[in-house]
Structures are given as structure tokens and as C-alpha cells.
């Protein structure tokens, strides 16, 4: 017999700015096209709690700010978030930043974190002295973005083709005007 997967009801809360740069908050349930707009962060989070309480299964909300994921929280933690935001009297524009700083949401660590790596070299000869050195290497990023190696060759080939084309055209014009 196949077991049923426990489904999580996913909600997304994101900030939105109108033409006058007034902030509002959109609440959207995953796989549903309808978005609801709220004037305050607390109203949007309370609406999430009301909707999630009527659904079967676990519910979780994902917070987005400046078009990027900032953290998530299960239904049970949403009430605590509302209380902390009200208690600290945080304005709506800084609410998502505040809950991140207070570690009220779960966040993923990005892949671009710096990780120090230690390498040991034994018996390094320097000026005829033997010693043990420790070299600390800092890994800048797991994902390195570099220009492709073929880029400089491509530019060289295009330049060469352009020079050859100019020479051929010049020779054709000289021949046409019977200078050669």
C-alpha cells in the first residue's frame, strides 16, 4: 500500500510598493493565482494564520523582500512573529528585516559563504632551514564566475578576419581603379 505524502500548504508573503513608494504586502498561496494585498505586515500574517488554520496538514510561510527569499516560518511560529513585531513597534518597511535579525525565521545559508581552509606543509626548505609552515587559504566562493577562456581567442580571430577583409577590399578597389 502506498503511503500518502504529508503535504505542506505553502504561502508567500512579499512586500510591494505602489507608484508613491507606499509599502503594502501581498499574500499568495502556492499553486493559486489569486493574491491578496494588505496595508500592514501584521494584517498579512494574521490572514495567513486564518487561512492556514482552516486547511489540513502543515502550513508554512515564505517571506520575500526586494524580490528575494528572506526566510520561512511554520504556522506555529507566525503568532510569535506577530507578537515580537508588535512588541518592538517595528514599522512595516523593516518588518521582514527585523524578523531575520531576530532569527525568527529559518534561512538557508548561501553558497557564497567564505570558508577558511587550513593546509599544512611540512619540512619546507627556506634558506637551507627546515621548518613547518601553516598556510591559511581563504576560499572566496564555491561558485566562481569567470569569463570563458575562448573569449580572448574569439576577439583575436574577429580582429584578424576584419584586417584581412580590409586588405582584400583595398586590393579590389585599387584593381578596380586600375592603380595596380
How far apart are alpha carbons 74 and 160 in whole angstroms? Answer: 61
Cell numbers 601553516: residue? 134
Is the residue at 127 inside a domain? no
Q: pLDDT per residue over 42-62, tens digit each?
A: 999 999 999 999 988 899 999
Residue 134 lies in a domain: no
Task: Answer yes or no: is 32 within a domain.
Answer: yes
The H or E element containing residue 48 is helix 41-53
pLDDT at 39: 92
Q: Check residue 132 and give its pLDDT.
A: 46
Kindly state whether residue 126 falls inside one of the protein's structural domains: no
Q: How confident is the model at residue 130 (pLDDT cuts 50, 70, 90)?
A: very low
Mean predicted confidence (pLDDT) in 117-142: 50
Under 8 Å between Cβ of 104 and 96: no
Domain assignment of residue 84, given as a range: 8-101
Residue 72 in domain:
yes
Q: Is residue 27 part of a domain?
A: yes
Is 3 a domain residue?
Answer: no
Report which of 114, 112, 132 is spatially closest to residue 122, judged by C-alpha positions: 132
First to last CA, the chain: 90
Weakest-pLDDT range from 61-75, 118-132, 162-176: 118-132
Instruction: Quote the number of domains for the chain.
Output: 1
Q: Is residue 97 part of a domain?
A: yes
Amino acid at each position: 500500500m502506498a503511503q500518502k505524502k504529508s503535504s505542506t500548504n505553502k504561502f508567500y508573503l512579499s512586500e510591494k510598493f505602489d507608484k508613491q513608494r507606499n509599502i503594502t504586502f501581498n499574500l499568495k498561496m502556492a499553486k493559486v493565482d489569486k493574491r491578496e494585498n494588505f496595508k500592514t505586515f501584521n494584517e498579512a500574517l494574521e490572514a495567513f494564520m486564518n487561512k492556514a488554520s482552516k486547511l489540513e496538514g502543515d502550513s508554512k510561510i515564505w517571506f520575500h523582500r526586494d524580490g528575494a527569499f528572506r526566510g520561512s516560518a511554520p504556522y506555529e511560529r507566525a503568532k510569535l512573529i506577530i507578537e515580537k513585531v508588535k512588541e518592538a513597534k517595528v514599522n512595516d518597511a523593516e518588518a521582514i528585516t527585523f524578523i531575520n535579525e531576530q532569527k525568527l525565521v529559518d534561512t538557508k545559508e548561501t553558497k557564497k559563504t567564505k570558508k577558511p581552509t587550513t593546509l599544512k606543509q611540512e619540512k619546507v626548505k627556506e634558506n637551507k632551514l627546515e621548518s613547518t609552515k601553516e598556510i591559511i587559504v581563504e576560499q572566496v566562493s564555491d561558485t566562481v564566475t569567470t569569463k570563458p577562456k575562448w573569449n580572448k581567442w574569439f576577439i583575436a580571430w574577429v580582429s584578424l578576419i576584419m584586417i584581412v577583409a580590409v586588405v582584400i577590399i583595398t586590393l579590389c578597389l585599387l584593381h578596380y581603379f586600375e592603380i595596380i
